[in-house]
Amino acid sequence: MVSKLGILHGVGVGPGDPELLTVKAARLISNAGVVAYLAANGKDSTARDIAKGYIPATAQHLVIDMPMRVEREPGEKAYDAGAAAIAEHLKQGRDVVMLCEGDPFFYGSFMYLFARLAHDYPCAIVPGVTSMTASAASLRRPLSARNEVVKVLPATLPEDRLREELMTAESAVLIKVGRHLAKVRNILGLLDLSSRARVIINATHEDEVVTPLLDITEDTLPYFSSILVYAGTEAW
């Protein structure tokens, strides 16, 4: 009979560069017996690719197949199945290290597993470097200064709401841009902010791209893309 439950560790692995893992994250992954992570349509896992150099050869991989759909129901079912699989290990007293891109609690998918498991099993969170701060570092421009307020805005917001938020933003980070680029570009143009917007694609990855928004001609961007906008009085 198992007398002690295993611990679920939600471990942030950062935005892409494996050297941006924290010491704690690297230690937990290196000693993991069970490593869990999401895989888009059962294939690609950015979190695994980031952390692969730290995963022991003896670790058991728990792959959570995440269908990439606009509809929420397939994703909810995937989280249910993933939580159930993780729970089986925790019941047997085995710790599970869940790899999370960026930070587990900053728009991270881990929060949905945490919501399903935290009431019944011990959980620990290891923060990670976010794509937002990584993008600012790649751009070599602070997100904000002095008393300026930073807004983090999902590009998935309705157009009217996004425009309203940007109208009063001193500094803004637009995430989840992807297929919403045309909407974002139109709003920034109307607010005369296009020249103050910079696109960061795959921050800290080997194929990272940093470019002015005005140089982007496509209407979509890769999944791991952010737009930083600075609307304050200081020049870039």
User: How confident is the model over 97-116, as pLDDT tens digits?
Assistant: 999 999 999 999 999 999 99
- The residue among 214 and 43 whose pLDDT is bigger is 214
- DSSP, collapsed to helix, strand or coil, labels residue 79 as helix
Q: Is the per-residue pLDDT at 20 higher than 70?
A: yes
| Residues 202 and 222: beta-carbon distance below 8 Å | yes
| Residues 13 and 25: beta-carbon distance below 8 Å | yes
- The amino acid occupying position 232 is G
Q: Is the per-residue pLDDT at 148 higher than 50?
A: yes
Q: Which of 101, 74, 97 shows the shortest CA–CA distance to 13? A: 101
Strands 225-230 and 171-175 turn out to be: antiparallel
Cα distances (angstroms) measured from residue 213 to each of 85, 119, 225: 42, 44, 12
- The amino acid occupying position 98 is M
Q: Is the per-residue pLDDT at 1 higher than 60?
A: no
**Which CATH fold would you assign to the domain 8-126?**
Cobalt-precorrin-4 Transmethylase; domain 1 (3.40.1010)
Q: Quick one: how far is CA 164 from the chain centroid?
A: 25
Q: What is the pLDDT of residue 236?
A: 45
| Residues 144 and 165: beta-carbon distance below 8 Å | no
| Residues 144 and 106: beta-carbon distance below 8 Å | no
The domain segmentation of the chain, as residue ranges, is 8-126, 131-230
* DSSP string computed for 196-223: GEEEEESTTSTT-EEEEGGG---S---S
Least confident range of 116-120, 130-134, 218-222: 218-222
Least confident range of 16-20, 23-27, 144-148, 176-180: 144-148
Dist. CA 189–CA 168, nearest whole Å? 15
Q: Quick one: how far is CA 53 from the chain centroid?
A: 20
What CATH architecture applies to the domain 131-230? 2-Layer Sandwich (3.30)
Q: What is the pLDDT of residue 69?
A: 59
